[in-house]
Each structure stands twice: as structure tokens, then as C-alpha cells.
Chains A and B, each alone.
Chain A
Amino acid sequence: MDEALRELYQEVILDHYRHPRNFGKLDDEARSVLGNNPLCGDRIEVHVRVRDGRVEAVGFEGTGCAISTASASMMTEAVKGKPIEEALAIAKTFHDMVMEGAPGEELGTLAVFHGVREYPSRIKCATLGWHALRAALEQSQQVVTTEADG
């Protein structure tokens, strides 16, 4: 397998795909947003419970490829317990990394998604859960689609 592909399917991504973290629903208090990628049929629903300006709990459900599942799984770990502004800032840094090729060093393990940029059709997989998270935190929409990507 070539280098770019090896970078795309790093062990940490495969691990989160096989054993997604924070997988499941939260209680009724949680805000939920469905992320839909009509191109491939991937659907990832993100649930967040916000208390005192913080992401107190976060979970996700749905079916998706290794990239979209692992990205959502790692996202939940990255934003759990963070103030809303900080969670949104992480989302922005992640977005800039996969969309614009920004280095994203401050993202820690999430930087493994840097290689996704080599595969334009997979960028939407990597950002699917993040779109849903942002909509949930901003309380802007109930359903988001990757086709709105700029």
C-alpha cells in the first residue's frame, strides 16, 4: 500500500473505527443534530449536553466509513468537558487543517486526519461529525449536510 493510503488508515483511525468511543445516545436534555452525507449515505448523529457553558457530555451514533466514524469518535474525546468556545475553536482548527491544509499541530492525535486532504472525496467523511457538533453547539440546525461545504 502506498504512503498516502497508509497515512489515511493509521492504526489510531482503525482503532477508533473498530471501537468507537462515546458511541450512543444521551438523555432527553441533550441537543441532537443529524449529519448527512448524501454522496455516500453516511449518517452520523451527534448528541451534546451543555451545562454552565461547557460540553458536559457528548455522544454519537450512526453508520459511516472508517474516516467518518473515527473522526466523530475522536471528536467526542477532544471536546468532552471543554467550554463551548473552546470546543468550537477546536472544530475550527480541525476544519482549517483538512480543508485548507493548516498544520493543526495543536490538535494532538486529531492531527492524524491531516492526510485526508490528499483525498478530496474523503474530506466530507472527516468533517461530517464536526458539522453536526457545530450545529448542535450553535443550536443552528437539526440536520446538516456535507453538501453545504464551502
Chain B
Amino acid sequence: MNGSHQAERTSRKYDVEEVRAQFPALAGKVRGKPLIYLDNGATTQKPKAVIEAIERLYADGYGNVHRGLHELSERTTQAYERARVRIAAFLNARDAREVIFTRGATEAINLVARSFVAPRLEQGDEVLITEMEHHSNIVPWQLVCEEKQAKLVVAPVADDGELDIAVFEALLSDRTRFAAFTHVSNVLGTVNPVGQLVRLCHHRGVPVLVDGAQAAPRLRVDVQEFDADFYALSGHKMYGPTGIGALYGKRDLLAEMPPYQGGGEMILEVKWSGTTFQEPPSRFEAGTPNIEGAIGLAAAVDFLEELGMDAIESHERAVAARGVELLAGMPRVRILGMPHERAGAISFSIEDVHPHDVAAILDGDGIAVRAGHHCAQPLMERFGVPATVRASVGIYNTEREMDALAQGLRKVLEVFP
């Protein structure tokens, strides 16, 4: 498993045009203009390798997994389990059985909230999260805390968009039973010091979930190095298919967790007197899984590793830095948060122009950005804005596209003088 991580370090020069050529959608036009896709924080375009992997699965003969004794079922089962091994290697997990396929990062977080955290929570206990979480890493904890009459404690974000580590540490109390935070903020682009935060939590005996939905497509993830207990990722945000994600969980923790949902695949034996369950990961994959999703996600992971996560990170950092530089120099533009280390997202607002109107005018130029609260309403409230515009960079974006974004924004300033 370490092999692929080692191999990445000898990355070639990053050729963005070569990367772009792998994405059929980027050749398309929007409103008669070439597409400039800057909504990668919401979802990503798909490379040929992913599209073809899914097509091949259906065209070459497809069977259900872990069931039939016939050739097609065996072949599909092998491909599905190979996908698990690929995701495990991508995250540098010790063992492929530590990877559970889910519908997405949201389901991964809900699974941990239900099967790991809920049974451990008593009245008055605490769960610690941060102010920069996506709704997916807020609401599952609200639900479980409400049910158990536990307290959801929220670590604040400073004006620059960074977590205040000292405050985070101080909020870890004798009643803290679990902590969950994002690796990369989907709004501010802040990269959190995951290893350091995990150490602080573990020092207090608090297990941790890291939301990796925004990080997995753009940073090297090493769950052993971070020592994260759980790590959640989302397929469609990392150039893979929709409806698939993965949960990494430490093997000993998964082993003691009860099932999340009941159904086929996750059982050992069903009797009227009671049912016995499979070992992880099958225990947590009730029903026929998203087979083409898992295989498509593995193809996306292969594609990313071929480019090299370090190369991707430095490419995206350069493009985002260009964007920040241009936007910071524009009148009436205010960038939300200036984190020390940024990955992917740049959120901003323009004085006297609503984000929705900014996005509509940019759309007229074929530039796709997100306008809204980005499923992070508490963070919007913290910065005192109802919504922002977000340009989020992916592996195929260029500095030239940042210039086009700035050009589009000048047009916005003309329409709304």
C-alpha cells in the first residue's frame, strides 16, 4: 500500500492541458461560451477513465456481488473488492477492511453518529465540532445530541478563517465523548491542522471523525499519519460518480460497532430467534451496494494518483493564489477569510451586489460559480453575510481562467455601479 504513496513523490511536471483533455465536459460550451468550471466544491466533472470504467462494467457483463457462484457475479465481486483495496491504499489505511462504501460523506458521518457515537452518549455528555462545518457535519450531531440530551459544543473560527486551536483545546472537557471537524472548509478553503487537532483530542481520550469531502480531491490523505479514527469522503467531489462515498474507520472501532442499517449482504445468518451479522466492512453495507459507484470511484482514485496528489495540491494552490491576488485587488470585493493555508475554495462578496446576481452575470460568460450559503449557514452568520459567491478550483483549472473570472467580475461592477 505504501508503494503507491512512495511512487507519487516522483511526480512529473503537471500538464494542465493534458489533464483537461481527459474531461469531455470541458470541451463543451455554456451559453455559447467555452465552459469555465469553478464549482468544484459542489461537484466535479468526470474524466474519461471514470466514464469508461462504468461503461465497461455494464458492457462486459455485470452480476450481483458476494452472492452468485457464476462467473459474472465472481468477476463483479472481484472488481468491487479491488475498488475497496484501491480506496484503502489512497487513504493509506492499514487494511482494506477499514473502508466501508457509503452513499457519500453525509452517510458516512451519519453512520458514525448512529453506530459509534449514539451508544456512547449519556445525558450531559458533549460532542465537539467547529463553526466551519458543512451542514452534513452539523446536523447528524445535532440529531444524536438531542436524542441523548447531550450538548453540541462548537469551536469558533477567527476572522482570518482559521480555527483558534487554543480555544478548540480548551473546549475539550471531561464530558467530551467525540469530536468531528472538516479537513478543508468548503467555504473558506481553510486547511485545518488535522494531525495536531487529532493529537489534542486523543490526549483527552476523545475519538475523532475527519470530514474529508473537500480534502480528498486535492490533498494527500494519510489516515495513519493523522491517526484519525474515522475519515469520510465523497465520490462525486473527487471526479468519481455520484451516490458513492467511503468511510474509513479504525478496525478495532468498527469491530465493536453495531450495524447501521439492516438488510442483505450484512448478515451472517437470519433466524426468527435473531440475526447474526457479518464482520466489517460487510456489516455496514446493507443491501446491494452501489457497485458501479465503487468501481468508478476506484478509477477516479487511480486517475488522481497518476497525476500525483502533491502535484495536484501545488497546481491548485498556484491557481487559487492567482484568484486571490486578482480578487483582493478589485474594488468592492471582500474575500471571506484569508487562511494561512488554502485549498480549493475562494468565497467573496461584492458590495451592493447580491451573490445570486454575480453568479448570473458570470454564467452569461460561461463561468460556473456557486452563490448561496454553501450548506454552511452558521458560518455565514458568523461572518455576517446571508450568502457569498464561491469560486472553487479543481485539477483542470488554469490561471487564465482566474483572469477570466476577474474580467467577469469587472462586468458585474459595470452592471451594478
Contacts and interface: CB of A to CB of B under 8 A. Distances in A.
A149 interface: no
Nearest to A63: B386
Task: Name the prevailing secondary structure of the A interface residues.
Answer: mixed
A81 B168 CA distance: 57
Interface in B380-417: 380, 386-387, 411, 415-416
B364 A41 contact: no
Interface string B331-372: 000000000000000000000111111001100100000011
Contacts of B352: 18
Interface residues of A, number: 22
Interface residues of B, number: 21
B373 interface: yes
B359 to A, nearest CB: 9
A125 interface: yes
| Most chain A beta-carbon contacts within 10 A, residue among B353, B354, B371 | B354
A2 B364 contact: yes
A121 to B, nearest CB: 8
B203 interface: no
Contacts of A63: 354, 386
B360 A41 contact: no
Contact of A8 (B354, B360, B387): B360
Interface string A1-13: 1101100110000
B362 to A, nearest CB: 10
Contacts of B372: 39-41
A41 B380 CA distance: 11
Given A1-B361, A2-B364, A41-B386, A66 B354 contact: yes
A70 B175 CA distance: 51
A88 interface: no
A124 B386 CA distance: 17
A66 B387 contact: no
Contact of B356 (A14, A18, A43, A125): A125
Contacts of A64: 354
A109 to B, nearest CB: 19
Contact of B371 (A5, A18, A40): A40
A111 B120 CA distance: 60
A56 interface: no
A65 interface: yes
